[in-house]
Amino acid sequence: MSYFEKCATLKKIRENHSASEIKDKDFELVDQNFVSKQLIGDQNVIKTGNKSAVFNALLSYYLQNNSFSNSYIFRNLNAPDNSFEENYNFTYSILRKKNSLKSGSAIILLHGLNEKNWDKYLPWAQYLLEKTGRPVIMFPIAYHMNRAPKEWSNPRLMSQVSKERKKLFPNLDASTFVNAALSTRLQFSPERFFLSGLQSLYDVIHLVETIRDNENPYISKDAEIDFFGYSIGGFFGQILLMSNPQNLFGDSRLLIFCGGATLDFTTPISRAIIDSEAAISLKNFFLEGFEENMKTNESFHSIFARSEEIGIAFQSMINSDKLISFRNAILTGMKDRIRILGLEKDGVFRPKNIAHNFPGRLSHCLKFMDFNFSYSHETPFPLLDKIENEVNNAFETVLSYSASFLA
């Protein structure tokens, strides 16, 4: 079955697990309930005493006069992030061989930033399952996929939010209904980039703990756990293996596709990811004023300090000029367990920027590919009939390399 056929068939299966398309297949898609431990605290990261009275007054004025942002992004000005129940009580999916016993290994697939559904990733997961024989756990990061309010994916509502943002910021670039929700949340509180990432990592830790406690009906308690991380999923996966909390991931392998650079060497402004104002806010908070923000934002500093191992690994991955020796030492120790596969035309994680952090003895961890059709970071395998054969071949090349490393 070609990549194009996989996309169409798997989307139908995803929409209806009992669809006729699955009857003659040797795999199945099963859902598992998951409850987050909510380890990052109950604070409202926007309305904190650490931010100036002027900021809070301006934010209050903005939201009172921009009803769509207030009602659908924040639900209301005083609603803390932990009021979004769907982020804490959700399901994840496992693509596995049909009627198989508990598996002695698994691959956890971590997706990219601002993703709304798994359609793009289903063929990737199915290929990995087919070629490695290992079930693939598709795990959503915090406030993404089915962990986010449905309103954030509503084109009509989010178009209004985008219009509000364009009115407030006349020079705003790359604002669309697709990225309006995430851009608004990150612009007003860039701390969320770390906090939601931290919750995602804690959730993966908890997921693996349940496997080790023999609580997963499909994965054996002593299973080998490896990772396929795309874009920001690769960023999180790298931090997870670098920090190795509770020594759960000392033997895990990680294949990063379209990722691998530090935050300062990424270009996330995109109509599908975040707009220019959100990107500026992230840069100002984490790259230009990180140490000062750690001193003045007590709640953020407290959470960061309590997550020391992950915090240090995160800090080494946001600025290429900081903690260089630490980062190089950790990555050198992981050199046989990590591979980065980049694309030459990727405008978010550019090959030269990825290579900057993998010098000399780590260069064997890198592989770059290019294809003779137009593609992008967000859409590496475009579903265009006129280039179907070329895209099928590109998909096969990328996933074959990935499966070979993770087999």
Helix (H) or strand (E) holding 97: strand 89-97
Render pLDDT for 221-249 as a digit per residue (tens, 0 to 9): 999 999 999 999 999 999 999 999 999 99
In whole angstroms, give the CA distance from residue 254 to residue 37. 25
Q: Are 236 and 201 in contact (CB under 8 A)?
A: yes
> Given a cut of 60, is residue 21 above it in pLDDT?
no
Choose among 153, 10, 176, 152: nearest CA to 69. Answer: 152
> Given a cut of 70, is residue 109 above it in pLDDT?
yes
Question: Is the pLDDT higher at 232 or at 19?
Answer: 232
Q: Which residue has the tokens 């590919």?
A: 369
According to DSSP, the β-strands at 219-230 and 254-257 are parallel
Highest mean pLDDT among 43-47, 61-65, 81-85, 125-129: 125-129
Per the DSSP assignment, residues forming a β-bridge with 91 are 33
- pLDDT bucket at 99, cuts 50 / 70 / 90: confident
What's this model's pTM, rounded to 2 decimal places?
Answer: 0.93
In whole angstroms, give the CA distance from residue 34 to residue 55. 36
Collapse the DSSP code of 226 into the 3-class scheme (helix H, G, I; strand E, B; otherwise coil) and give the result. Answer: strand
Contacts of 212 (CB under 8 A, 6+ apart): 221, 222, 248
Lowest mean pLDDT among 52-61, 268-277, 398-407: 52-61
Going along the chain from its start, the domains and CATH numbers come out as 3-60+81-156+186-406 (3.40.50.1820)
- pLDDT bucket at 91, cuts 50 / 70 / 90: very high
> Given a cut of 50, is residue 49 above it in pLDDT?
no
Q: How many CA atoms lie within 13 A of 253 on its CB side?
A: 17
Q: What pLDDT is attached to residue 16?
A: 72
In whole angstroms, give the CA distance from residue 92 to residue 98. 17
In whole angstroms, give the CA distance from residue 150 to residue 231. 23
According to DSSP, the β-strands at 27-35 and 89-97 are antiparallel
> Given a cut of 90, is residue 22 above it in pLDDT?
no
Collapse the DSSP code of 265 into the 3-class scheme (helix H, G, I; strand E, B; otherwise coil) and give the result. Answer: helix
Q: Are 96 and 103 in contact (CB under 8 A)?
A: yes
Q: What is the mean pLDDT of the segment spanning 370-398?
A: 97
Query: What would the two tokens of residue 246 be?
Result: 């509770």
> Given a cut of 90, is residue 290 above it in pLDDT?
no
